[in-house]
Structure 1
Amino acid sequence: MAGWLAVPYLDLPTWLTPAQRGTVVALAERNDAAHGDELLGLVLSGSAARDLATGLSDLDVMVVLTDRAAADRSTEKSQEVDEIVEAWSDLTTVAPFGTEYWWYRWSYAWAPVLLDRTGGALADAVRRQATLSPDEADAVLVDHDRLDGWLNFAYRALKNDRDGRAVEARLDAAESVPWLLDVVFAMAGRVRPYNKYLPWELREHPLEGWAADDLLGLVQRTLDGDASAVRETFARVRTACTAHDRRRGHTRTTDMVDGWGRELAIFDGTGG
């Protein structure tokens, strides 16, 4: 049955402007009229979802439909809003790390659910997209080598720095950063945010053991090719691995680090 949707049924963030609220209400009423009960919900994403919109930002609204209704729709874009059609089966399917849709998962992180006609199942699915199960976290860290990959780039950066290759050291240090961010967010059970939202997420949703300014400072110094930042980060990652393994009841991440053997001496400046 269509036509019953009204503003009280929408849970709109307080920071939306009157114009943005009007756009969302119009979109909701249009989709309710078109799909009735096959409209399962609406989710706000993008900058507006995190209260970071500027005068140049549009709205990103995910229109969650039954699979049957979604099959006849595609994403529609205008100057004011991107109306992104999402089939229920796609929303409830969690893409593994490294697959085509993995990177899309963070778009659901901290995304306000504007309408949920599923009795909470939609809100649960949104949260699940942006979080990692313990097994997923281990897969990111170990099976997909993000921890070992970060160590590799960090090690190479320090070797280049030791040998007086400043440009090469800076390049390897910079390449280590995406791997590092995958590591620290995976240990927290979260999908790494898009770069645009990294400072916002660290400040609004802090990571245990990684104060926002501390991690952002280490990242900036690493990007600048600062070898001391790489060494400081290694010490903190090693501590985090110990805590992660204790929580998980295994030694997989500490074993991976310890497997580097005497090569680790370069991280305390005594070898390599």
Structure 2
Amino acid sequence: MHIVLGTTPDDTLAAFAARAAEDPGVVGLVLSGSRVHEGMPTVHSDYDLHVILRDRQASELAGLDWFRSAHLDLVVIPLAEFRTRGMPGRPDHFARYSYVHAEVLLDRLDGAIARILDEKRRLGAEEARAAVDGWLDAYVNQTYRSLKSYRDGHPAMGHLDAAESVPHALEVLFALHRRVRPYNKYLRWELERSPLGDRRWGADRLLPVVERLLADGDPDTQRALFTDLEEAARKAGHGEVLDSWGADLELLRHS
């Protein structure tokens, strides 16, 4: 299969979308990436497009899976796989956020493509609870390891563990609000456009904390973040995870 690039990414997308729409094996087209995040596209931005097929044998476009160019990036995927892509327990769970703001360009299934997307956009209640429990335990573990290293005179290792705790903390924070953690590129964008409802989690307060932990792992900053996350987690009913750490939590609470 061959794709002819147009003069601009817009031209290339329009030509390919028209071609795909004429293919009876294509049941949906979904746009994701920076183009669906207002204010994020640059002169370097391409279009990220999911082409959804009835099955892998339904169209010759299946051969274009993972096509990459300066104008257009493709994921060509069967409907059955699209239903589960990015969901918990999948090896491609990392792809979940790509669907949060995705736009449907074509849906031949009477709204089924849109409904599948809606299931991906937000965590279900039970899914969110399990996610918070798992990530909270991982966050506490990483922070505890970091602060032990600082206490025992190994600041470089403490810094490394502090940096590794940051993704866990962000997973907890977004899951507490039944939100999918954004890719780092879109973290400020999400916090500014869809606030988490607490000033402590606003971009102007949370991002300096993240930057400080990544810069040097400052123990006082770690403890301040833990205090805020502990309060939020207990309020949401996740105290059992925290209490399982027993007296070890004292290291995270006091300098």
Q: Report TM bin, short chain.
A: 0.7 to 0.9
**Is the 8 Å Cα contact of residues 85 and 95 (structure 2) preserved in structure 1?**
no
Task: Give 1:41's aligned residue.
Answer: 28
Q: TM-score, normalised by structure 2?
A: 0.85
**What's 1:163 paired with?**
152
Q: Which residue matches 1:58?
A: 46
From the superposition, tell whether residues 167 and 110 of structure 1 become closer, same or farther in structure 2 (CA, over 3 Å).
same
Match of 1:189 in 2: 178
Q: Is the 8 A contact 1:70 1:85 kept in 2?
A: no
CA apart distance, 1:117: 3.1
Say whether residues 1:268 and 2:253 are aligned partners: yes
1:221-267 per-residue CA deviation (whole Å, 9 max, x = no partner) reads: 2212111221111111112112322xxxxxxx211101212221122
Give, in whole Å, the separation in 1 of the partners of 2:169 and 2:92.
21
SS of residue matched to 2:236:
helix
Deviations 1:29-84, CA, capped at 9 Å, x for gaps:
11122x13x43222111222214222222211111222252586132333311132
Partner deviation per Cα, 1:157-215 (whole Å, 9 max, x = no partner): 22222333221221110011111111112212122222222222222222233212222
1:62–1:86 Cα contact (<8 Å) kept: yes
Of 124, 127, 133, the match for 1:136: 127
Letter in 2 for 1:261: G
Aligned residue pairs total 242
Alignment of 1:190-269 (within 5 A): 190-209=179-198, 210-223=201-214, 224-245=216-237, 253-269=238-254
- My pick for the range that moved more, 255-264 or 188-197, is 188-197
Structure 2 contact 68–74 (Cα < 8 Å) conserved: yes
Identity among equivalent pairs (%): 39
Aligned to 1:6: none
Seen in structure 2, the aligned counterparts of structure 1 residues 94 and 132 have a Cα distance that, compared at 3 Å, is: farther
Residues 33 and 48 in structure 2, CA contact (< 8 A), matched pair in contact too = yes
Instruction: Tell me the residue number matched to 1:22.
Output: 11
Between 1:203-212 and 1:165-174, the stretch displaced more is 203-212
Q: Would you say the 8 A contact 1:97–1:140 is kept in 2?
A: no
5 Å-filtered alignment, 1:33-182, equals: 33=22, 35-36=23-24, 38-51=25-38, 52-67=40-55, 68-69=57-58, 73-74=62-63, 75=65, 76-93=67-84, 95-142=86-133, 145-182=134-171
Distance 2:254 2:46 in 1: 49
* Mapped partners of 1:184, 1:222: distance in 2: 16
Gaps of 5+ in 2: 1-6
Q: SS in structure 2 opposite 1:92?
A: helix
**TM-score, scaled relative to structure 1:** 0.80
1:132 and 1:188 map into 2 onto residues whose CA distance is: 9
Q: Kindly indicate whether the alpha-carbon contact (under 8 Å) linking 2:128 and 2:178 is maintained by their aligned counterparts in 1.
A: yes
In structure 2, how many angstroms separate the alpha carbons of the residues matched to 1:217 and 1:267? Answer: 20
Structure 1: runs of 5+ lacking an equivalent: 1-17, 246-252
Give the conservation status (yes or no) of the 8 Å contact 1:70–1:86.
no
**Distance in 2 (alpha carbons) for counterparts of 1:186 and 1:69:** 37
Cα distance in 2 between the residues matched to 1:94 and 1:135: 19
Residues 88 and 98 of structure 1: CA distance in aligned 2, closer, same or farther (over 3 Å): closer
Check the 8 A contact 2:47/2:72 in 1, yes or no.
Answer: yes
C-alpha RMSD over aligned residues: 2.2
Tell me: CA distance 1:42–1:255, structure 2 relative to 1, closer, same or farther (3 Å): same
